[in-house]
Amino acid sequence: MSLFTKAQAVIAGGVNSPVRAFAGVGGDPVFFKSAKGAYLWSEDGRRFIDYVGSWGPMILGHAHPAVIDAVTETARQGLSFGAPCVLETELAEKICELVPSIEKLRMVSSGTEATMSAIRLARGHTNRDKIVKFEGCYHGHCDSLLIKAGSGALTLGVPSSPGVPASLAEHTITLPFNDIDAIQAAFDELGEQIACVIVEPIAGNMNMVTPVPGFHEALRELCTAAGSILIFDEVMTGFRVAKGGAQSIFGITPDLTTLGKIVGGGMPAAAFGGRASIMDSIAPDGPVYQAGTLSGNPVAMAAGLATLQLIDAPGFYESLAARTQQLVDGLADKAAAAGIPLATECEGGMFGLVFTDAESIRSFDQVVAADVKRFKKFFHGMLDEGIYLAPSAFEAGFVSAAHGDDEINATIAAADRVFAAV
């Protein structure tokens, strides 16, 4: 009996997060037992160069000695207190130092919890109900955010999952990412009712899509004019594309920011924070309720703090960005030589690969129209070569500080062989 079959008997779908099931690429998922640096080892002994990085957190590479030491030392003193600890404050101070738009924050345990809490805070602070989100941007699985677009830009949305009440759809406006005219029209009609706009500053859940010039500037201007709260969901991009997150690249100051993945250093931790005047609306200082038994867990705080201290080293991001660019350029060159259309994107330690004739990808519709069948063949070809990519055509990839010339060159050489067969 396979490991996946055994898992399916006791775990819903055989996995604890849907994309892990390989439904987007076919076949059974690989079960892993260990990781170190840029590598993963499967239960059957195969070694893979890893570009998933636990979906982003492992920016230092797997099992970095300083992070492991911090975790083990903290764990010896107790796994959870359910009470304040100094590590919470130290990590919060480091986050506020690296992301100046965050004056105060609240620690939580997952990215979904961070975005859910930020939206509740925005609604409570503004005393408004409507929120604006964008097609192709994923902000976790809370009800308000699992709403797809209606037939027109301002028509009622439709729940995209059973279990989401249809009544929530009337409060969620879903617009095309990068469409400045659509966001202007939404604010012209409903601006005084909009509590917040939530956006991935660089979308990473419809592959990797960067903003067109003026998009974030329009969001900032419209939110300010209407008294709405601009939320940058940097669960993925925070500390991944730059030390100060994507907001530091674009020069935009959001009102609230959500963080996850890297902020926990591989442990379950996330955060939401922003202007002190907004954060003061959270209980116990204000009326908006939010709580979590394991929020600020000392072991997770230790992992996150050790990680953020290491990425703050001089030249860290310049080196990481150079490695990512080296990978993307090499893959693009090999695809072109094989006559395969491939659009690439990268920023910091994050990259995207889309099989399409388009020179660049700037919308959800372009991603959906790409050659998914070719991606599936490419994915399995690379897997056979010992390269582990995200098992979906709609996910970004990640490079870590542990990826060196050997790993990058081996990946490019493997792609050269695979492109000949896809």
> CA 163 to CA 143: how far, in whole Å?
8
pTM above 0.85, yes or no: yes
pLDDT reported for residue 153: 46
Query: What is the CATH number that goes with domain 3-63+315-419?
Result: 3.90.1150.10
Handedness of CA 27, 28, 29, 34 (dihedral sign): negative
Instruction: Decide: 39 and 47 in contact? Cβ < 8 Å.
Output: yes
Burial of 5 (0-12, 13-18, 19+ CB in 10 A): exposed
| Among the listed residues 227, 399, 245, the one whose alpha carbon sits nearest the alpha carbon of residue 322 | 399
- Domain positions in the chain are 3-63+315-419, 65-311
| Among the listed residues 73, 108, 118, 91, the one whose alpha carbon sits nearest the alpha carbon of residue 269 | 108
Strand partners, 42: 32
Instruction: Decide: 361 and 207 in contact? Cβ < 8 Å.
Output: yes
> CA 8 to CA 188: how far, in whole Å?
49
Burial of 78 (0-12, 13-18, 19+ CB in 10 A): exposed
- Cα distances (angstroms) measured from residue 138 to each of 22, 104, 112, 295: 19, 24, 10, 22
Instruction: Decide: 106 and 84 in contact? Cβ < 8 Å.
Output: no
Tokens of 354: 């889309």
> CA 414 to CA 384: how far, in whole Å?
9
pLDDT reported for residue 151: 47
One-letter identity of residue 50: D
Q: Please give the helix or strand (H or E) that residue 232 lies within, else none.
A: strand 229-234
Query: What is the CATH number that goes with domain 65-311?
Result: 3.40.640.10
DSSP state, residue 228: P
| Among the listed residues 132, 256, 133, the one whose alpha carbon sits nearest the alpha carbon of residue 189 | 132
At 90, phi and psi to the nearest 5? -65, -40
> CA 199 to CA 134: how far, in whole Å?
7
pLDDT reported for residue 149: 66
| Among the listed residues 186, 176, 245, the one whose alpha carbon sits nearest the alpha carbon of residue 206 | 176
pLDDT tens for residues 118-144?
Answer: 999 999 999 999 999 999 899 998 888
Ranges of the chain whose pLDDT falls below 50 = 151-154
Instruction: Decide: 273 and 256 in contact? Cβ < 8 Å.
Output: yes
| Among the listed residues 258, 232, 279, 281, the one whose alpha carbon sits nearest the alpha carbon of residue 124 | 281
Burial of 94 (0-12, 13-18, 19+ CB in 10 A): middle
DSSP string, 67-133: HHHHHHHHHTT-S--SS--HHHHHHHHHHHHH-TT-SEEEEESSHHHHHHHHHHHHHHHHT--EEEE
> CA 152 to CA 395: how far, in whole Å?
26
For tokens 């959001």, what's the residue? 254
pLDDT tens for residues 192-201?
Answer: 999 999 999 9
pLDDT reported for residue 83: 96
Strand partners, 159: 147
Residues annotated catalytic, as ranges:
138, 233, 261
Instruction: Decide: 379 and 25 in contact? Cβ < 8 Å.
Output: yes
